Amino acid sequence: MTTGKMSNENTEEAAALQAQIEHLQAEVSALRRQQKDDQKDVTFHFRGQMQNAMLSLCGQRQGDEKVLSMLMEEVEELEEDLKLQTQMNGISLTGCTTKTLQSSGRKLVQQLCVSGHCSELLFQVEFQLSEVNEASGCVRTISELNVVIDAGEMQNFSSFLSGVEESRDLLLFFRTLRSFSDRCDDRRRTFQHFQEKYPAVVSLPAGCRSEVMHLSHPELPGCVLLVHWSVHVSREGGVSPKVELLTKIPERALQLFPSQAVGGAAEAFQSLLRILGAEAALEAVIMAVSLS
C-alpha cells in the first residue's frame, strides 16, 4: 500500500468517524437533558448510597455485594427513624406520593398526597407545598389543601374541615385529629374498664368504640340509664368531650317512683361530673344502678 492510498482511506475513515462522533454527541446531549428532567423530581434525585447503587446497577462500580449491604444498612436506619417519628407524632403515615410541579434554582413546588391513620381514623390529605429561597431564609407555604377523613366521623368534623381547608392549616388538622383520637381512646378505655368491672350492669351494644354505654340492673331490664359520651370538634379545632346521662325509664315505673332522684338524674349527673370528673361520676352512677 502506498502512502497516498493509505492517506485516502484514512481520510474517508476519518470523515466517517467524525460524522459518527457528531451523531453520538447529539445523542448523549439528548440523554443528558432527559436525565436532568428525570432528576427534577426530588424523590428520584439520588445521592450517597442510592447513587452508588445506581452506578453499580449500570455496571460502572465493582463490589456489588458491598453496595447492597451498605444500602440495606441505610434503609434499616430509615425504617427505624420512621418508627420513631410514627411513635412520637401519634400518627401513622402509610403513603406519600409527590409530584414536582415546578423546580428552579430558588423555587420548588410539589404536589403531595399523604394518607394514613390516627388510631382508627383514616385520612388522606392533598396539598401543594412551595419552598422559596429568599434572602431571609427558606419560606415554606401550603396552598390548595384538600382533606378527606373516614366517612363515619364526618358529621363531627364537617365544619372544622371546611375551616381548615379555607385557612390551609394542615398542621392544625393533624393536631386536632390527634387530640380527637386521644379523647376517643379515653372514652373507649373507660367504657371497657367499666364493662369488665361491672359486667352485670354495664353493656356496650354498639361496641367499645361507640358513644353510648348502657346501664341497667339485671332485674329491671326495662329501666336503662344511657351514658352518652360525645367528642366535639369546634370550627377552630377545639376538642371537647361531653358526657351526658339520659334515662330511659317507662312511664309506669316513673309513676311508681315519683322521686326527683330518677326524674332529675340528668342534671344531677352534670353536677357530679363537675365535682368528680367523668370516671368517678360514672362509677358513682353505676354503683347506684347496681343498687349495692
> Closest distance between other proteins and the C-beta of residue 49, in Å?
8
Answer yes or no whether residue 59 interacts with other proteins by CB under 8 A: yes
- Is position 162 an interface residue for other proteins (rule: CB under 8 A)? no
CA distances from 76 to 47, 70, 83, 116, 147 (A): 17, 10, 11, 21, 31
**Taking CB under 8 A as the criterion, which residues in 216-245 touch other proteins?**
236, 238
Q: Which residues on neighbouring strands pair with residue 132, listed in sequence order?
A: 107, 139
In the complex with other proteins, which residue's Cβ is closer, 45 or 242?
A: 45
Q: How far apart are CA 207 and CA 214, in angstroms?
A: 11
Residue 136 or residue 255: which is nearer to other proteins going by CB?
A: 136
Task: Tell me the sheet residues that pair with 223.
Answer: none
**Phi, psi values for residue 141, rounded to 5°:** -135, 155
The yes or no reply on residue 170 touching other proteins (CB under 8 A) is: yes
Q: Nearest to residue 250, comparing CAs of 223, 276, 231, 269?
A: 223
Q: Which range of residues in 48-56, 211-219, 240-248, 274-282 is near other proteins by CB under 8 A?
A: 48-56
Beta carbons of 49 and 61 less than 8 angstroms apart: no
Residues numbered 116-155 forming contacts with other proteins, rule: CB under 8 A: 125, 129, 131-133, 138-143
- Tell me the site size for other proteins, rule CB under 8 A: 95
Tell me if residue 27 falls in helix, strand or coil.
Answer: helix
Binding mask 171-190 toward other proteins (x if CB under 8 A, else -) reads xx-xx--xx--x--------
Min dist CB 277 to other proteins, Å, is 15
Whose Cβ is closer to other proteins: residue 134's or residue 196's? 134
Asked if residue 260 lies in contact with residue 170, where contact means CB atoms within 8 angstroms, the answer is: no
d(CA 213, CA 289): 13
Candidates 63, 66, 97, 146: give the one binding other proteins (CB under 8 A).
Answer: 97
Nearer to other proteins, 82 or 256 (CB): 82
Tell me if 85 contacts other proteins by CB under 8 A: yes
d(CA 273, CA 250): 25
Given candidates 5, 106, 252, 274, which one binds other proteins under the rule CB under 8 A? 106
